[in-house]
Structure 1
Amino acid sequence: MDWDKLRIFHAVADAGSLTHAGDALHLSQSAVSRQIRALEDALGTTLFHRHARGLILTEQGELLFEATSTMAKKLDSAAARIRDSEEEVFGQLRVTTTTGFGTLWLAPRLTKLYERYPDLKIDLMLEERVLDLPMREADVAIRMKEPAQADLIRKRLLNIRMRLYATPEYLERAGRPATMADLSAHRLICQNPATPQVSAGAQLAQEVLGYDMASTLTVNNYFGVLQGVLNHIGIGILPDYLTLDFPGIELVLPEVQSVEVPVFLAYPEELRSSRRVTAFRDFVQEEILAYRRQQMDEGAPDQ
């Protein structure tokens, strides 16, 4: 099968238009059209339904587009590995992690990484959905559980727990609870039970809510929970990696905590030799070690 025709087919299927595909490929519309007709003739099938508003893939076209999409991802991966040199770190690095960890811990530290590698182009994808690393939906993942996908290199970074936090201002106004039963007089800020989240946090929230709290504020991520706590709205359930970065919050009922939650960094086996991935992995590990040293120096709760 002609690779050039497949490349042109993929561009047309992706753009949904001969004109737009031609612009991207620097070819005329007629040249693109001829290549598509030649590919259809070679395969003995129709790949597109042609409408006034554009092109729609046929069932056979969908099958071929799925195959060319996989090929394109593998070619991009190979090209990225080839571009990585032994001396330089540059190019795009797609990192996925949860909204909470990405916004509250990782993003504030990326300044140091960019200072070291100014030509990096990081695409930070923050969502609770677990992206498929072997299918190259992302290059590196930091997750709150060990990845189950095969063919991944994984590194356990640290363990965290979910705990109760509030500002001194809120506690002075509403009172400091001495027991779990005292929580019923307070407002709980936590993730909405219906949203994807770390199971340990959901279990702790269920336990606290069992004390019939007078008022609640639910948010769909830990960034929102933290904002509620910092603005003195109530007592929030938050991961304890925030202790050092947000000294304006205070631990409430230190004995109340979730089970340990492991934090893993993972990336596909095929990216083992990637300089970009290695640089990011080493940077995160260095920051974790610095965080632990600071934690010990300041006497923060152990993790």
Structure 2
Amino acid sequence: MDTAQLRIFVHVARRGSFAAAARDLDMDASAVSRAVAALEAELDARLMHRTTRAMSLTEAGQAYLARVEPILDELDRARDEVASARAEPVGTLRLTASVAFGEACLMPLLAEMRTRFPRLKLDLILTDTNLDLATERIDMALRLAPDVRADVIGIRLFATRYRVVASPDYCAREGAPRTPQEVGKHCAIVFGLPDFRLRWMFRRDGQVEEVAVRGDIAISSGLAIRRAARDGLGLALLPDWLVGPDLATGTLIDLFPDYDITATSFDTAAWLIYASRRYTPKKVRLMTKFLRERLGRPG
């Protein structure tokens, strides 16, 4: 049995598309189709329904996929165990994060990653879309959310604290709000989602105040919101990992340091997640340890 054909079949099944699998594997779509057809001929069974628009697994294909995925995992595990004498992992690791988190938290670690794992190729995918781990062949993802689904392993790296910030120039020109309710009188630079652009919540001593914000400027990028705030365009609600350096240098001012503030949930955190599977590759285990050492913190 050709394991390359098995891997192609599994990847097509995960992606649900011959064309998408071909792009991922850097192969011609015709070569991918021939590999699956050869596997079907060897098994004397139809594994996939094909149309011009879609692909789906047959009943036999679903049963076969359930059998061969664990086998391929075991082969990967055997390969890692044979190579266990090597301290560093090999292969390609696909890691995804939001654009802002990647820029603020991952890029400063990139040089150290290359030094620590010189034989590991890194495919860093920065996007504000939550990519599906299986279909996009993602090994690891960094997500900003309060919970993790049952089909992934989740490691909480650190709690996220949101701050209402403004530039010194804005505060000198417009006056800094002294109470949460005064925030509603100021121009707010809001994230372009309904939960963020309508109201912010302030909590102190167990008491929560909900404040309607005047979102005169809505932007879909946290990095761009930070830039607009530094340029004096208004108040912004941003996470501490993004504005920490600005607060330290005085480029931005934390207007309510004694409050917990959020637009969604007070229980937000940065999570490292990867697929729940029978065997976790060595490259994922070692990168997990590295990121926990560099980014993890109590709280």
TM-score, structure 1 as length reference:
0.67
Counterpart mapping for 1:45-194 below 5 A: 48=50, 64=61, 71=68, 75=72, 78-79=75-76, 82-83=79-80, 85=84, 86-125=86-125, 126-129=127-130, 131-132=132-133, 137-143=137-143, 144-150=145-151, 152=153, 154-194=154-194
Counterpart mapping for 1:188-267 below 5 A: 188-194=188-194, 205=200, 210-211=211-212, 213=214, 216-246=216-246, 247=249, 248-258=251-261, 259-267=266-274
CA-based RMSD of the aligned residues comes to 4.5
Contact 2:47 2:60 in 1 (8 A): no
User: Could you say which residue in structure 1 is the equivalent of 2:289?
Assistant: 282
Mark the runs of 5 or more structure 1 residues left unpaired by the alignment: 50-54, 293-302
Compute the displacement of 1:68 (Å). 5.7
User: Could you say which residue in structure 1 is the equivalent of 2:18?
Assistant: 14
CA distance in 2: counterparts of 1:163 and 1:284, whole angstroms: 24
The structure-2 alpha-carbon separation of the partners of 1:132 and 1:173, relative to structure 1 and needing over 3 Å to count, comes to: same
User: Could you say which residue in structure 2 is the equivalent of 1:52?
Assistant: none
Mark the runs of 5 or more structure 2 residues left unpaired by the alignment: 203-208
Instruction: Give the number of equivalent residue pairs.
Output: 271
User: Could you say which residue in structure 1 is the equivalent of 2:205?
Assistant: none
> Which protein is richer in helix relative to its size?
1
The structure-2 alpha-carbon separation of the partners of 1:73 and 1:189, relative to structure 1 and needing over 3 Å to count, comes to: farther
User: Could you say which residue in structure 1 is the equivalent of 2:45?
Assistant: 43
Q: Which amino acid aligns with 1:205?
A: W
The structure-2 alpha-carbon separation of the partners of 1:102 and 1:81, relative to structure 1 and needing over 3 Å to count, comes to: farther
- The percent of aligned pairs where both chains have the same amino acid is 19
The structure-2 alpha-carbon separation of the partners of 1:3 and 1:99, relative to structure 1 and needing over 3 Å to count, comes to: same
Q: Which amino acid aligns with 2:189?
A: I
Contact 2:180 2:211 in 1 (8 A): no
Other structure's SS at 1:266 match:
strand
Compute the displacement of 1:81 (Å). 7.0
Other structure's SS at 2:148 match:
coil
Q: Which amino acid aligns with 1:131?
A: D
Q: Which amino acid aligns with 2:18?
A: D
Contact 2:190 2:218 in 1 (8 A): yes
Compute the displacement of 1:148 (Å). 2.4
TM-score, structure 2 as length reference:
0.67
Other structure's SS at 2:200 match:
helix
Q: Which amino acid aligns with 1:147?
A: V
Structure (1 or 2) with the larger CA radius of gyration: 1
Comparing 83-92 and 60-69, the one that deviates more: 60-69
